[in-house]
Structure 1
């Protein structure tokens, strides 16, 4: 899942990026409202973490403009504004969740996972298809309850495919879930990860749709 982090406090932004990437999220960072709105003109992000105290405009105005464009990207608001009225205003403007600073990173991660499950096909942190079970909280893969050794990228590829079971995912769609802005991508990276996964997973678990992409059939 790709997140746009809109935060002008650089130390906080760096700490959040590190924590989120450690948990398997892709994070792109901007520090102004204008940059946020520009970044969100393209459907590159699944979720936004939005600070309200931005240097060029109030974060609520960013949120209002985003929703005025009929963009439904989920937004978690971060703010030091802790009155009920201010929280209600943020929710009325279209925020999906609200987190008061200072906050515990584990609470933010839990709220992100709730929204992630809402966006995906899974209704819990565990996705099970045939003999394969993927734990999105622990970031582990199991076959008949035996843990499978996977690299971080292999796990992310499998997660994309299992969350979208029954739907074909193109190489470009998978790549968009694997790499941050500016990160170098090998031309055959997805194919390599798929090849490695197939050696570990049940036969024909990941299927190739020639000329289109990859898919996993629903159980």
Structure 2
């Protein structure tokens, strides 16, 4: 009887010693595989909608079409630096189509003196302005646009020892490229053509007529609110 008890105790001791070894050889349960969404997060588009305010600097050139009794008809070509400010509002109709309204004011340096039949005639324009509608197509942070509307400028004639000036009204058309430098600052390069109606001046009893066509190329920076 004691012999069977000793044998059972030995078997139990051996089983207890080998159990951890057998458990170590058993395969471990597989960990759940983590999945990741590989779809890239789209970058936020630049928002063109909003008010903006800025300044610009460029070069202008134009032609004064003049005529009078003492001098006959003649043209004066002038060019010079132009600079000023602009303000406007853009509205994105769709993600790619932007419309807006802009007003600007420029100081100009267009002046030319011609001598005809012994008479010196000086024609000049010291400032110009415009109110334009804009329509553009965007490529996220870049926009190409066209603009057109009302143009205003001063027109001055000096002859026969007298001088007279007036405010001339006309029209303007142009186009440009604008890009977002930051989320609040944009830069642009644009061209504008301006055509003003013929104006009449009376200097010492002589009637003078002048008509100005002007071209502008300018670089500008704007702050978008």
Q: Same fold (TM over 0.5)?
A: no
* Larger RCO, structure (CA 8 Å, separation 6 or more): 2
Structure showing greater radius of gyration is 2
Quick check: which one's strand share is greater?
Answer: 2
TM-score w.r.t. length of structure 2: 0.21
- Greater helix content: 1
With structure 1 as the length reference, what TM-score do the two structures score? Answer: 0.21
